[in-house]
Amino acid sequence: MQYWLFKTEPHAYSIDDLKRDKKTVWSGVRNYQARNMLRDEVKKGDIVIFYHSSCAVPAAVGIAEVIQEGYPDPTQFDSESQYFDATSTKENPRWFVVDVSFREKFKNEVSLSYMRTETSFSDMRLLAPGNRLSLFPIAQKHFDLIVTKGSL
């Protein structure tokens, strides 16, 4: 089992949306490095820190679990979708998704500014200069620290 951090903009899809829906398709990823992780590395049973980005207070807000490993993103074939890719075919899909289910919403958000002040997070990829990926693996120690702080 691996631990991941998945970023989402809360106005597009929030932890409350996932709590309501119970599960969702993690679609719309259009970065090759993130695509490769969804396709090749994210596995059923992996645990995800659900992270709100591009908002007033970027923060880890809950936990999800991967319930379906990577498969072709159906939005890439839908000409009405904002994620349509005319160069992708069903025989040779370019983009992939996973399905995740809701596990927990934190009592307290664990803000990016808090993580920046704690030396125990200093080697976390989220804090690396230039990190713009929408998902990436995280160490169990970082997962545990986030869950502990979020559950207080």
Tokens of 50: 């659900």
- Quote the pLDDT of residue 131: 82
- Quote the pLDDT of residue 150: 97
> Residue 61, by phi and psi: left (phi above 0), alpha (psi -120 to 50) or beta?
alpha
Compute the distance between CA of residue 37 and CA of residue 42 in angstroms, rounded to an integer: 6
pLDDT tens for the 152 residues of the chain, in order: 999 999 999 999 999 999 999 999 999 999 999 999 999 999 999 999 999 999 999 999 999 999 999 999 999 999 999 999 999 999 999 999 999 999 999 999 999 999 999 999 999 999 998 888 999 999 999 999 999 999 98
145: phi then psi, degrees, rounded to nearest 5: -65, -45
- Quote the pLDDT of residue 132: 85
Ordered domains of the chain (ranges, CATH): 3-151 (3.10.590.10)
11: phi then psi, degrees, rounded to nearest 5: -70, -20
One-letter amino acid at 98 equals V
Compute the distance between CA of residue 129 and CA of residue 89 in angstroms, rounded to an integer: 35
Compute the distance between CA of residue 54 and CA of residue 76 in angstroms, rounded to an integer: 24
Please name the residue that has the structure tokens 């398709």. 25
- Quote the pLDDT of residue 146: 98
Distance of CA 81 to the CA centre of its chain: 20
39-49 in b/e form (b: 16+ CB < 10 A) is beebeeebbbb
- Quote the pLDDT of residue 130: 84
- Quote the pLDDT of residue 152: 82
